[in-house]
Structure formats: C-alpha cells, structure tokens
Structure 1
C-alpha cells in the first residue's frame, strides 16, 4: 500500500507544483506587469484587511461563545451548545446575497426606516454593506464556528483541578479565564482562526459580489477576462504565499508551549448565572446565531416562497442533480482514498508515508481558485497531447478527454477536500487497538482481510461522517466550480452566484436555500456526536 499512498500524495501535489513552477518561471508578460502596476497593491491591501478583521472577529465571537456555554449555565445553554455551529452551513456568498437584499436602499430595513421617520433619499446616512467592512462581517458570521468548536473542545478537555487551583490562588472568574483557561486553549484558538483565514482567502463569491478586489477575483479575471494563464498562475502562487504565511503564524502562535493534564480528567463545574447576567449570556449566544443562520435563513425562505426561481421545475432538478452527482462522486472517492492512506499509515511508519499524509493535508489549505489553475494547466497540456496522439493514430478528433467533462473538476475537489476525510478516518482508526489486528492476523487473515473484516465495520460511522463533510463542502464550493465546470454544466452554487450577480436575488434564493438546507443535517449530526462523546459540565447550585 506504500506505493499507492505515495501515488495519491503525488497527484495532490501536482496542482501546487504547477502553480509554483509558473511563479519561479517569472514569465508574466505584459499582463503581469499591468496587474502589478495597477491592481496588485489593492489586492494585497484588501486581503490583509480582510484577514485582520476576520481573525479578530472570529477569535472574539468564537472564544467568547465557547467560554459561555462551557463554563456557565443560563437559559438556552443546551440549545446553543449545538446550534452555534449551524452558520457553517451558510456559504459566505449566500450570506452576502441575503444581507444585500435586506439592507439595500429598496430593501425592507431602509424602506421601514423611511416610512417610520419620513426621511427621503439623501437625508440620512446608512452603512453600505458592500465594502471591505461588510465582507469582514459576513465572514465572521459564518466562520466563527471554527474557533468555537476547537476552543470549546479545549475548554472541556482541561482538568477541573487546574481551574480550582486558580481559584485557590485568589483568581476571580475573569482572571481565571485570562490567566489559566485562555493560555491553555491558545493552540486550539489559533488553529480555528487559521481555518477561518484560509476559508477567507479561498472565497470568491462574497468578495466578487461586494466588489472587493482580492487575489481570488484577480485570478478569475486574469484567466477569463484577460485570457492569460501564466498571470493567473502567478497570482495564484502569490495567494498560496498568503496561505503559507497564515499557517506559519498559526505555528508561531503555538510556539514551544505544550499543555498537558496531569490529573484525572474531570469536567469543570459550570457556574449558574442568574438574573440580568443569565439573560445577557443568552443574548450574547443568540446574536451570532441570529446573524449567521436564523436571519439569512429566514430571508432566503421568505424570498423562495414569495418569488423564488422562475425555473424551479425541470431546470432546478437538473441543477440539483449536477450538484448531487459531483458531491456524491467526490465523497465516495475521498473516503476510499482516505481509507487507503490511513490504513497504509497504520501498517507502516515509513517517513515517506508521513510525508504523503502531510502533502494530502496541505490541499485543504489551498484555495479552490489556486487548485483550479494548478489542475487546468497540466491537464490542459496533457489533454492536447492525448488529442494530438489519438488524432494522428485514428484520424478522429477525440476532443478534450480530461478537462472537457467532470473528471478534472472531481480531481480538483479531491485535492481540496481530501484532508477532511483523511483526518476523520485517521482519528477513528487510531482508536482501534493494535491487538485486534494481531488477533485477526493470527487467525490467518491478510492485511486486506483485516481491513475488510475488522476495521471497516468499526469505522462505519466515521466513514459516513467523512463522506457527509466532503459532500457538504463540495455542494458549497464556488471558485473551482466556476473555473473548471464543463460548458453548459451548472450547479446550485453557480446558479445562485450567476443570478445574484445579475441582481436577481429573489430568484437566487431557491438555489441558495437548497445549499443551506443540505448543510444543516450533517452539522446537527456532528454536533450531537460531539455532545455524546464529550464530558459536559454540570451546573453548580449557588
């Protein structure tokens, strides 16, 4: 299995290497010079502002919500424990569409404001959501669950004795949080913020719709508007440098610090809040849930029921079918490859296997637009060579065999999301004791027999979880789909983006609502699994 695992890692590394080669080649021509002189500084500035705002916002909201539901008891706490992850089901570009419709001049908020006050156009100031600040708010609303999930897990895993030791030293609740719990959870918070930043760097739909020019929009423009693949590759390589910087900062945030529980694990005793403090905690948890899920979901549902897509019939079925086929095919392939990689790593501790798994995990940190460029350049070259060879041998023109269908698109999805399924399978496989392998081998089972008869039945739940996660990610993916989809092949994501870009927000609501609905069920299942598998706090009576 070693060579199969190395082959999978090599396929994942091809798009990244393809982008890097164009950067080192230094051949951007007039297009690259034009971009560098006119818009490159804007790309860098907007990207830095987005990253700074999203990092600060997600850390504050995610860590604060995790601390409240872990260490305190207040009305609605049990509901917020799992509901606070639901904004992950809403893609950032869907959030941008709904809030634009809600807050624009002819939208319900400003219309109500003018009716209530008698003001006319130009007589009052109202914030414009289609700005860098508006984009930061959208990203924070949908990405804070990354920090929330990891910070909450870190708070739950710390021994209650550590907090009790802080109290015995005279630390109050805030001092205990700032000087004990927060440093212990710092690696998890940094990892969650890094995930949020990578999603921000990968986004195309929200920033494009808001008119915020970033590297992702620049890549799309260079590829389709200017027709320069080399310039698109060099922009992609620069964006990849931003991703590497985010990963390095996350590593430096962890530093050499290592935190371990030295005593028996026990859940911290939650403090029961009463009166105004209890309702303030409920409101603090309700606000991100309201802004990130309930409000946009309600707006989408209202628009879908009152207006919706005029092509809801056969056209919508076709879009849903395309999305489901891509997502299901990618999920199945991702799970199969994850089992191969994880089981190969279990059988051998060869350094090349660790390198292979690390290469696969790197794919999730690469934006979809970068992967699309990295896939199309080598596959386009190979496609042309194959077509030329077949035409010379048979006299018939076979067309584009790889990039003319969905094969290249599924390949790009696998490069982007294979790490999601691999980490899930690895975590579950690591819980199976090696004694079971040895017992099965002593009964005459081969390595494949052990996998088929022992591990796969035990991993059934984790394999389903991995498949669901990849399925939802593919349903939401927009940049790679826009760049690589075959001619006249649309999905729910591309349909929502196209209609919204044409200012047909009500029609875009049907496809957008379908994407959100598909993502809700897996998130609820995951939240319940986390709840059942974690040690939860018991409220303390005061």
Structure 2
C-alpha cells in the first residue's frame, strides 16, 4: 500500500511485509475505539461492580426506557412518512410531483440538533408563537405543550431522518412497482388492494433498512437529547465521563449502546440483502404500459399534502425560524467570531476529507489488486465505523490514552490526542471512513478489469497503475467522497466537542453552546452555515436520482 517512499529496487518480499504491516496498523487504528470500550471490562473489580450495581438501580432503567420509547416513536414516524412520500412520488402522478422528488431530500441538509434549536426558539414559552397567542386571545400560562420533551425530540428526529426511508423505499418501488401494479389492475384489483398487496410488501425490506439507519442516527445523537434534557444512553455516557468523572461507568454505558447499534446494523444488512434480492428479479419500470396512476381532485390534493408537510416541517419552517433573528437584528449576531469558527470547521473538514480519500483509494486499490484476508478485514473494519456513535468513539479513544498515561506518567500521548487536531481527526476517520470507501468502491465498480490487464501488458503496475490508469477515472468518485466526508465532519458534534483542541471551536460546537446558553438568536448564524454546507451533497444526490429516473 503506502510504499511510494520505498526505493523501487526494494525486494518484493520486503514490500509485501511492509504492505501487510501498514494494513495491520491501519486496522488497529480503526478498531481501537471499539476495542478500548470492550477492554474496560478487563478492569472489573469491586469498585467497578459497585458502580454498575448503583447505575442499574438508579440511572440505567431511565436511560433504557427513554431510549426505547424514543426509538419506537422514531421508527413508526420515519416508516410512515418515508414510505408515504416514496409511494406518492413513485406510484402516482399529481401536480408538483417532479419538484417533490428532490425537495423531499432537503431535510438531509438539516442536522437534527439545528432543527431542535429552531423549533425551540419559535415554540418555547417566551417564543413568538406562544407570546402572540397569549396577546391575541388573552390567554395566560403555557399555550402549547413543552417542545423540550421526548415527543418533541421524536418529532425532530422523524422529520430530520425520514429521507433514509424515503430514498430506499423510492428506489425499491421504482424498480418494478408500477408495472406490477399495472398487472394487478389488469387482473381487476382496485387501487387500495394494489397498494396493500403489491407496493407495501415490495418496499418492506427497504423500509426496514431505512428505519434501522434512522435508529442508529437517533441512538448516536447527542445534540438533541442533551439540549432537550432527555436521559438517553448517549447523554448518559457524557454525564458519566465528564460530570461524574467515572470512565468505567462511561465505558459500560458505551458497551451497551454499542451492542444495540451492532444489532441494528445486522438488521440493516439483512434488510439490504433482501432488498437486493427483490430488486434483482424485477423488470424495467419505465415501460409505456406501466405509468404512475394519475390523480385528480381530492386525491391529488391529498398526495400533495403528504409530500409538502415533511418538507415544510423538516426544512422550510426551521430555516425560516433561524432567519427571523437575522432579519430582526443583525447586530446581535457574532459576525466577528464567525469567520474563525468557519475556518476551524473548514480546516478540520478539508484535512479529514483528504486523509479519508487517500486511505480509501489505497485500500480500494489494494483490494482490487488481489488483496488477501488482511485487506478484506481492514476494509470491513473501516466500513463499520459509520455505525459507531461518536460518544463510543470518544470513550474508546480516551480510555487507552488514559491507561497509557497511567503506565508511563509524563508521556506526551494525552497532549497529542487532546491538545492537537490529531485526536479529533482520528475520531473523524474512524467515524466517516466508510463514507469515502463506499464512494471510491462504487467508482472502481465502473472500471472494467481488462483495463488493468492492458496496463500491465504495457508495463504499468503497482502505484503507477493507480496514478496513471485508475485515478483519471476515479476523480469524480473521489471528489464525491471528499465532499461527503467534509460535510459530515462539519456537522459532527459529540467527538468534536470533547476532542477538539483549545480555542478550536467549530460551527457545530458553537451552535450547541449558544443554544444551550439560551442565545438562540446568535446560534442561528452558525446553524444556517451548517445547513448551507449540507445542501451541497443533497443537490448532487437529487441530480443523480433525476439522471437515473
């Protein structure tokens, strides 16, 4: 792999050993956070057992119940909204359908914690809505329920995460749903039965996969649950580590969360396998005999409403709520510090994206060049990182560093991990390496293998093959990978908040801190900057979907 610095005359056996050593080192770096969390159980002793019993008797039941209720509500909500919107734009034709096909992706640009800040600013007791209602109707006290609650958090997650279900369900229905529904119509089935007996079973694996992804994002969240004061596993991990100063308790909570996420990941993989099997046997959906059902009148209005509400609640209203303080008083906004926050975010994003793309290119090239079991294992480890919550990564990185510091007092290890950008970039690579890998590997899938054979016959091999043959064909995939990693790094909150060096606040961290201090008007500026950054990949994704349709 990383053998470009080695002389060309180096023996092949040495090159292979160096290649394997570097792969092994990379695998260890990627798996260390999970291994560090699991290794905390090796410190099992009397005090640890006492802490665990105390947690089980006090906070763990609340964490479990709250997380379970929240996940059930989010699962039902994203399944209903995602499946309903996907069915509307795929199976039916109504005014505005083409616009909704891409507009329904807009909530992907909104971090869930930004949506939470926006709604809190508008709906809280002193917000403009309740104040206006009390003034207009002479009411007193609270007019609407408290938004900072489990139901409020569930609504925030539903309208922020439903695009996961929408995308997968839309792809599944687009494969063959329209022509199968047309066949059912010719057999005399009414519209309601066609939807219930054909469309819904066809999209069930896609919905299950999308729900699993949404639940993983819900469990990994820190911003919404912490800001709303909800006692979930993620907030419990940070409280145990930072407030209680108990790293063993934090690691045990992280282990529980990691086990739940691993279960969700297994369910998502199983649903994806069923989805690929269902799609592989389908015919073309674009034939002239199989067209979406034309809706008119009340049915068209109902379909339009089903698609408009998620866009309104998940994107348009939050953006409007954040623009309100900007329009009211520009002087209250922290313009003087905004450029520094943006620079810190961009610097970390560019550095992490560049490293992730380089490693993804080298790993994918090694795998394409006949990589063995070690290469495949490292690629799998890298692919699992996206499912690991940021809280688990933080605990998994800091625990081994603390052990090393205890074993060798005075070691500069802690400084390099917590006092420089090394620690936070390391966490980003563990978290988002799979994003870069998926994009690069999809680009490699479009490069015929006979190009490699032809290049080798002409004397181009090794890294020369990557530089002269593969790279020109992978530029777009690499650029897409870099963009996706960059945006994910810009929005990442838990790992950044704990591991960032001193005086290196990012837009995400500052938005959270300002909102936590009830300075929601000032939080609007960094929050809107994050939304603008997130719009770029959403627009690229919508263009890709339009080309395929």
Does the CA-based 8 Å contact 1:327-1:471 persist in structure 2? yes
| Match 1:330 to one of 349, 352, 366 | 352
Counterpart check, 1:250 vs 2:268: yes
Match of 1:274 in 2: 296
Distance 1:383 1:174, change over 3 A: farther
Distance 1:99 1:208, change over 3 A: same
CA contact (8 A) 1:131 1:212 kept: yes
Q: State the distance in 2 between where 1:161 and 1:69 align.
A: 15
Q: Look up the SS of the partner of 2:417 in the other structure.
A: coil
* Structure 1 residue 164 displacement after superposition: 3.2
The answer to whether residue 456 in structure 2 is matched with residue 441 in structure 1 is yes
Cα offset for 1:30?
4.8
SS in 2 for 1:446: coil
2: CA distance, partners of 1:331 / 1:192: 25
For 2:298 and 2:410, the matched residues in 1 are separated by: 75
**1:131-530 pair list within 5 angstroms:** 131-158=149-176, 161-251=179-269, 258-262=277-281, 264-267=283-286, 268-307=290-329, 310=332, 312-348=334-370, 350-382=372-404, 388=410, 400-530=415-545
The range that moved more, 132-141 or 453-462, is 453-462
SS at match of 1:402: helix
Structure with the bigger RCO (C-alpha within 8 Å, sep 6+) is 1
1:18: which partner in 2? Answer: 36
Contact 2:40 2:251 (8 Å CA) reproduced: yes
**CA–CA distance in structure 2, aligned partners of residues 13 and 453 of structure 1:** 32
Q: 1:439, CA displacement in angstroms?
A: 1.3
- 179-188 or 475-484: which moved more? 179-188
Offset at 1:195?
1.1
Q: Could you say which residue in structure 1 is the equivalent of 2:77? A: 57
CA shift, 1:481, in A, is 1.1
Q: Does 1:86 align with 2:115?
A: no
Secondary structure at 2:293 match in 1? strand
Shift in Å, 1:509: 0.9
Provide the C-alpha distance between the structure 1 equivalents of 2:268 and 2:462, rounded to a whole number of angstroms. 38
Residue 21 of structure 1: CA displacement? 1.2
Q: Report the alpha carbon displacement of residue 372 of structure 1 after superposing the two structures with TM.
A: 0.7
Q: CA deviation at 1:517?
A: 1.2
SS at match of 1:259: helix
- So what's the TM-score if we normalise by structure 2? 0.90
- Corresponding position: 1:96 with 2:111: no
Between 1:462-471 and 1:365-374, the stretch displaced more is: 462-471
- Structure 1 residue 239: deviation in Å? 0.8
- SS state at 2:40 partner: helix
Q: CA deviation at 1:356?
A: 2.0
- CA 282–5 in structure 1, closer or farther in 2 if over 3 Å, else same: farther
Distance 1:190 1:5, change over 3 A: farther
Shift of 1:29: 5.5
Correspondences of 1:109-124 after superposition (within 5 Å) = 109-121=129-141
- More off after superposition, 271-280 vs 48-57: 271-280
Tell me how far apart the structure 2 counterparts of residues 263 and 195 of structure 1 sit (CA, whole Å).
Answer: 25
Between the aligned partners of 1:151 and 1:300, the Cα distance in structure 2 is: 31
Q: 1:172 to 1:8 in 2, by over 3 A?
A: farther
Q: Please state how far the C-alpha of 1:384 moved relative to its aligned partner.
A: 6.7
- Aligned 8 A contact 1:309 1:510 in 2: no
Q: Distance in 1 between matches of 2:393 and 2:411?
A: 27
User: What displacement does 1:187 show?
Assistant: 2.3
TM superposition shift of 1:264: 4.5
CA distance in structure 1 between the partners assigned to 2:184 and 2:30 by the alignment:
47
- Alpha-carbon separation, structure 2, partners of 1:109 and 1:352: 58
* Cα offsets for 1:197-218 (capped at 9, x unmatched): 1110011111111111111111
1:516 Cα offset (Å): 0.9
* C-alpha spacing 1:215/1:80, structure 2 compared with 1 (3 Å): same
Distance in 2 (CA, whole Å) between partners of 1:318 and 1:79 is 37
How far did residue 485 of structure 1 move? 1.4
CA 1:380–1:327 in structure 2 vs 1: closer, same or farther (change >3 Å)? farther
Structure 2 runs not aligned, ≥5 long: 2-18
* Structure 1 residues 386 and 349, CA gap change in structure 2 (3 angstroms): same
SS at match of 2:359: helix
The secondary structure found in structure 2 opposite 1:59 is helix
CA shift for structure 1 position 9: 2.5
Asked if structure 1 preserves the Cα contact closer than 8 Å seen for 2:94 and 2:303, the reply is: yes
For residues 269 and 133 of structure 1, the distance between their equivalents in structure 2, rounded to whole angstroms, comes to 39
SS at match of 1:121: coil
Instruction: Give the conservation status (yes or no) of the 8 Å contact 1:379–1:403.
Output: no
For 1:439 and 1:135, how far apart are their aligned partners in 2?
56
Q: Judging changes above 3 Å, is the alpha-carbon distance between structure 1 residues 280 and 477 closer, same or farther for their aligned structure 2 residues?
A: same
Question: Would the aligned equivalents of 2:172 and 2:279 in 1 still touch at CA under 8 Å?
Answer: no
- Assess if the C-alpha contact under 8 Å between 2:94 and 2:295 holds in 1: yes
- Residue 73 of structure 1 aligns with which residue? 93
How far apart, in 2, do the equivalents of 1:368 and 1:423 lie? 20
Q: Distance in 2 between matches of 1:517 and 1:386?
A: 45
